[in-house]
Amino acid sequence: MKHNILKLLVLALIFVGCKNEKSTEAASDEVSTNETTEVNVYTHRHYPADQDLFTQFEKQTGIKVNVVNASADELMQKMTQEGAQSPADVLITVDAGRLVRAKDKGLLQSIDSKILNEIIPSNLKDKDNQWFALTKRARVIAYAKDRIKPEQLSTYEDLATDKWKNKILVRSSQNIYNQSLMASIIANDGEGKAKSWAERVVDNMAREPKGNDRDQIKAVVAGEGDIAIVNTYYIGKLLNSKNPEEIKAGEGIGIFFPNQENRGTHINISGAGVAKYAPNKANAIKFLEFLISKEAQDVFATVNYEYPVNPEAKTSELLKSWGDFKEDNVDLSLLGENNKKAVLLFDEAGWK
Ligand code: FE
């Protein structure tokens, strides 16, 4: 009897001991992985599709996404001012030129993610893994279907010839999309040729640069000029607009991918990086991995008409209807590095 009681006591002690061990294990787990339940996203993108994706991420992971929305320059300035106290975990912006700028300002950090490394092609990410492309956009020539035949078009360089006198519509050179296009022309043709290209395009403009890419397409359809230089997804947005005038503008133009016989059509990206002082770094990486997952990339392609960077993702029917094209595979970091030169040459060429 005494023996049995002793046995029971020993068993009970072992049981309690085990339980304690388990609970301390769990507690130390929490401390060592420093798990947090939120991620702070500074983003320049302002599309409803993005918000839907953020909500999806929250549901999948239980990590709350706090969004700060502003222009890229404002966000970078905010991060600079906040310094090491910055709550920013992720910076999302459009255009490689801006991502290079963020890296140069020391606002981002290198991260090591097997998923990001494997999925994103090397020309679409920073060599130190400080930023990564999320989507691609092509800068194409939109032409008036009723006046221009695609056979008349060929390259960006050809836009500098006399045949396009008073026919070209394009936005201001202050815009980063044009600066990156110019940076790619500098990379390919050299500074001298790039400058004279810009001068001649200015001569060929149908009007002084004004408005955004969508306005250029509307002006082509209204007959102010015959061709416009625009990003592809704006055409998708016009075609799917609620405004009948915009749909008409989208339907009135054809899409031409320049430079198919040589380096390929200029593409740019929307991309993201993990902030230098990210308080929730692990969540930031999870968040970026989610954004390049097949399911998220499908949304970018079907709802926002951007080209996915994940080859597994399906392209939308609309993007498919525009056809496959050869992309200019210039290292996107070079677009950032050539940005200052591009701005200067535009200025000298009188491109407002
Ligand atoms: Fe845009």
**Claim to verify: residue 160 and residue 119 sit in the same structural domain:** no
Distance 15 CA to ligand 1 centre (A): 63
**Does residue 24 lie in a domain region?**
no
Distance 198 CA to ligand 1 centre (A): 22
How much of the chain is helix, strand and coil, in % rounded to 5?
Answer: 55, 15, 30
Pull the structure tokens for residue 110. Answer: 């290198």
**Does residue 30 lie in a domain region?**
no
Report pLDDT digits (tens) over 299-318: 999 999 999 999 999 888 99
**Claim to verify: residue 208 and residue 238 sit in the same structural domain:** yes
**Claim to verify: residue 75 and residue 144 sit in the same structural domain:** no
Distance 171 CA to ligand 1 centre (A): 12
**Claim to verify: residue 214 and residue 256 sit in the same structural domain:** yes
**Does residue 29 lie in a domain region?**
no
Containing structural domain, residue 282: 38-136+268-316
**Does residue 4 lie in a domain region?**
no
Distance 257 CA to ligand 1 centre (A): 18
**Does residue 15 lie in a domain region?**
no
**Claim to verify: residue 71 and residue 214 sit in the same structural domain:** no
Number of domains in the chain: 2
**Claim to verify: residue 184 and residue 220 sit in the same structural domain:** yes
The CATH number of the domain holding residue 247 is: 3.40.190.10
**Does residue 289 lie in a domain region?**
yes
Distance 160 CA to ligand 1 centre (A): 25
| pLDDT the model gives residue 315 | 86
Classify burial at 51, counting beta carbons within 10 Å of its beta carbon; exposed 0-12, middle 13-18, buried 19 or more: middle
**Does residue 184 lie in a domain region?**
yes
Distance 8 CA to ligand 1 centre (A): 73
Distance 329 CA to ligand 1 centre (A): 20
| pLDDT the model gives residue 34 | 60
Distance 2 CA to ligand 1 centre (A): 83
Distance 22 CA to ligand 1 centre (A): 53
Pull the structure tokens for residue 221. Answer: 């359809």
CA distances to 35, 167, 213, 345 from 178, rounded to whole Å, are 42, 18, 10, 12
Distance 285 CA to ligand 1 centre (A): 25
DSSP structure class, residue 175: S
Whole-model pTM: value is 0.85
CA distances to 49, 250, 313, 320 from 302, rounded to whole Å, are 9, 17, 10, 11
Q: What SS3 state is found at 97?
A: helix
Distance 39 CA to ligand 1 centre (A): 25
In order along its 352 residues, the chain shows pLDDT tens digits of: 555 555 555 445 444 444 444 443 343 343 334 678 999 999 998 788 899 999 999 999 999 999 999 999 999 999 999 999 999 999 999 988 899 999 999 999 999 999 999 999 998 999 999 999 999 999 999 999 999 999 999 999 999 999 999 999 999 999 999 999 999 999 999 999 999 999 999 999 999 999 999 999 999 999 999 999 999 999 999 999 999 999 999 999 999 999 999 999 999 999 999 999 999 999 999 999 999 999 999 999 999 999 999 999 988 899 999 999 999 999 898 998 999 999 999 999 999 9
Distance 189 CA to ligand 1 centre (A): 26
Backbone CA torsion sign across 41, 42, 43, 48: positive
**Claim to verify: residue 252 and residue 129 sit in the same structural domain:** no
Nearest to 171 by CA among 213, 232, 221: 213
**Claim to verify: residue 132 and residue 182 sit in the same structural domain:** no
**Does residue 160 lie in a domain region?**
yes
Nearest to 336 by CA among 125, 159, 171: 125
Q: What SS3 state is found at 37?
A: coil
Distance 14 CA to ligand 1 centre (A): 65
**Claim to verify: residue 249 and residue 132 sit in the same structural domain:** no
Distance 266 CA to ligand 1 centre (A): 15
**Claim to verify: residue 251 and residue 153 sit in the same structural domain:** yes
Classify residue 95 as left (phi > 0), alpha (psi -120 to 50) or beta.
left
Distance 227 CA to ligand 1 centre (A): 19
Distance 236 CA to ligand 1 centre (A): 12
